[in-house]
Amino acid sequence: MSETHRIVRIDLDAPSMGPGDVNADHERRVAIADLLEGNSFKPSAEGEGPFALRLAIEDDRLVFDVRQEDDSPVHAFVFALGPLRRIIKDYFLICESYYEAVRDAPLAQIEAIDMGRRGVHNEGSSLLRDRLSGKIEVDFDTSRRLFTLICALHRRAAT
């Protein structure tokens, strides 16, 4: 991993944030910590990293505001949320089932739901990576963590 092709700071847009639940907040914190620990992030726009990234939902669009570490603007990429909506909705539904199952379901059922949850998460991560193609090059692990953060923003923007 190149030191110049990575995110060293990530900010989730405060106005996009609202009240969240404990499980979603935990996932968000873990995704941020894991993302900062290891990621591969190379915008096609001019500018040297390492990068700071601000994620937001504005006017029903997903915003990737990429900056240099000193906060100098690099480029803001804006994406329609439409292509991600179905997979985000599916992910929320399976997460709810998982959290309910953890309380009192048999271990085999919890494991089956968790496998499904990871599968939907992987599908969302792949779709995000495809949407970023040509604009921002990321590896699969980075797209997984970014997908988690986008879900956190989307959940809160929808409340």
Q: How confident is the model over 33-71, as pLDDT tens digits?
A: 999 999 999 998 777 789 999 999 988 899 999 999 999
Q: Is the pLDDT of residue 17 over 80?
A: no
What is the percent of the chain with per-residue pLDDT over 90, rounded to a whole number? 69
Average per-residue pLDDT for the chain: 88
At residue 159, the pLDDT reads 47
Distance of CA 45 to the CA centre of its chain: 21
Q: Is the pLDDT of residue 155 over 70?
A: no
At residue 126, the pLDDT reads 97
Which residues, at least 6 apart from 113, have a Cβ–Cβ distance to it below 8 Å? Answer: 94, 97, 98, 101, 105
Q: Which residues pair with 65 in a beta bridge?
A: 54, 76
At residue 6, the pLDDT reads 94
Q: Is the pLDDT of residue 136 over 90?
A: yes
Neighbour tally for 43: CB within 10 Å: 20
At residue 22, the pLDDT reads 75
Contact call for residues 82 and 98 (beta carbons, < 8 A): no
Which one has a higher pLDDT value, 23 or 151?
151
